Amino acid sequence: MLEKVAVIGAGSWGTTLADLLAKKGHQVTLWAYEPELVVTMRETRENNLFLPGITLQESLAFTNDLEEAYRGCTMVLCVVPSQLVRRVITNSLPFIPKEAVIISASKGIEVDTLATVSEIYQQILPPEMYANFAALSGPSFAREVAQEMPTAVAAAAATEAIARRVQEAFNTNFFRVYRNSDVVGVELGGAIKNVIAIAAGISDGLGFGSNTRAALITRGLAEMTRLGLAMGAQPATFAGLAGMGDLVLTCTGDLSRNRSVGIQIGQGRSLDEILGEMRMVAEGVKTTESAYNLAKKLGVEMPIIDQMYQMLYQNKPAREAVLELMTRNLKAEGA
C-alpha cells in the first residue's frame, strides 16, 4: 500500500527517512523548521545543514508550513528532537488527519515532565488518534541508511495492525523493520543508550580502552533494563535492536554525536563549549537529567546515570566519577 507521508523534522534522520520512503514510491512531504533550508532543498535536492553530500529523491516535496505538510496524509513521521516534540505536535494537532498512522522516531525523555515520547503524544492526541501511534527505534546512523548500508530497526505499536503497517511502509532491502509490541521498552532503549554513549565517549576521551567500554555497555544495559522493568517494559526488548543493538552502535560508532560529546568531555572541554559548536542534537545531554530524575522518582538504582548527572550538571571531574563507580559496594552480577 502506498502512503502519503508527512515527515516532520528535516534533521539528518528525518531527511534520511523521508528520502527512503520516497525511494519506495510513497508520496512524501518533508517539513523543515528552517525556511532557508526548504529553499535550499528545493533548489539543490540536498540538505546542506544536516545531511550534506546526499542527493534527495526528485519526488520529495519540501515545506515550512505544517498545514501543507499534513494535507491529505495517511501517515505522519515526526523526527524532531525529543524536547521539541510537545511544542511541534501541539502546533500540528489541528492539521493531522484523524485516521493517520503517527510514528515517532525521536529518542529522549522530556526534562520538564519526565514523560517518555509516547507519553507526550498520549497527553496531546485524542485517544482514537493515539491508538494509531508507533515508535521507530534501533541502531541506525542516518548517514549509513542514506548510503543504503544494511540496517535493522524495530517498530513498536500497541496493535499488531499498526506495527505491520509501519513495517510495510518502511521496510526495504537495505532497511529491515521488525515488529514489536513493547512501545515503552523500545523508546526507553533509544533514550537511555544516548546517556551511556556519552559515558563511553568520556571513557575513550580519558584514554581508557575496550575493557572500560565493554563494562559501560553491559552495566548500562543492566540500568536501562531495571528502569524499563519499573515502567512496565518487557525485559526481552532490551536484548533486542532498540536496546543492546542501539547501545552497542552508539557506544562504539564514530558517527555518534553523543559519543563525540563524551570524547570531548573526557579530553577536558566544557559541555557549554562543546554544545555551543553543535548545530545537531546530542539527545543524551538532556536525557541525563531526565533519566536521573526519573530513576530517583521510581526508586531505581542507576549508578552510571547518577555519575553522568554529576559530571554534566554538577561539574564533577570525570576521573572522580570513574573511581566512584569502580569502588561501589561489591554486588552479585544479577542483583
Q: Using the rule CB under 6 A, is 288 a contact of ligand 13P?
A: no
Q: Closest CB to ligand 13P among 29 and 140?
A: 140
Question: Grid cell 544479577 — which residue?
Answer: 334
Mask for 40-79, x = binds ligand NAI (CB under 6 A)? ----------x----------------------------x
Q: What is the DSSP letter of 76?
A: E
Per-position DSSP letters for 257-326, written without gaps between them = HHHHHHHHHHTT--HHHHHHT-SS--THHHHHHHHHHHHHHHT---HHHHHHHHHHHS---HHHHHHHHH
CA 146 distance to own-chain centroid: 17
Number of residues that bind ligand 13P (CB under 6 A): 13
Stretch in the footprint of ligand NAI (CB under 6 A) among 94-102, 137-145, 157-165, 269-277:
137-145
Picked from ligand NAI, ligand 13P, none, the partner binding residue 230 (CB below 5 to 8 A depending on kind) is none
| Residues 256-285 close enough to bind ligand 13P by CB under 6 A | 256-258, 283
Beta partners for residue 51, in sequence order: 47
Residue 193 annotated in active site: yes
- Amino acid (one-letter) located at 252: T
Set of cell numbers at residue 145: 541508511
Please state the φ and ψ torsions of residue 180, each to the nearest 5 degrees.
Answer: -155, 150
- Please give the radius of gyration of the chain, using alpha carbons only, rounded to the nearest integer: 19
Q: How many Cβ atoms sit within 10 Å of the Cβ of residue 214? A: 14
Q: Using the rule CB under 6 A, is 107 a contact of ligand 13P?
A: yes
Among 3, 6, 9, 100, binds ligand NAI (CB under 6 A): 9
| Residues 120-149 close enough to bind ligand 13P by CB under 6 A | 139-141
299 is in an annotated binding site: no
Residue set of the binding site for sn-glycerol 3-phosphate: 107, 138, 140, 193, 246, 256-258
Residues in touch with ligand NAI (CB under 6 A): 9-14, 32-34, 50, 79-82, 84, 88, 105-108, 140-142, 280-281, 283
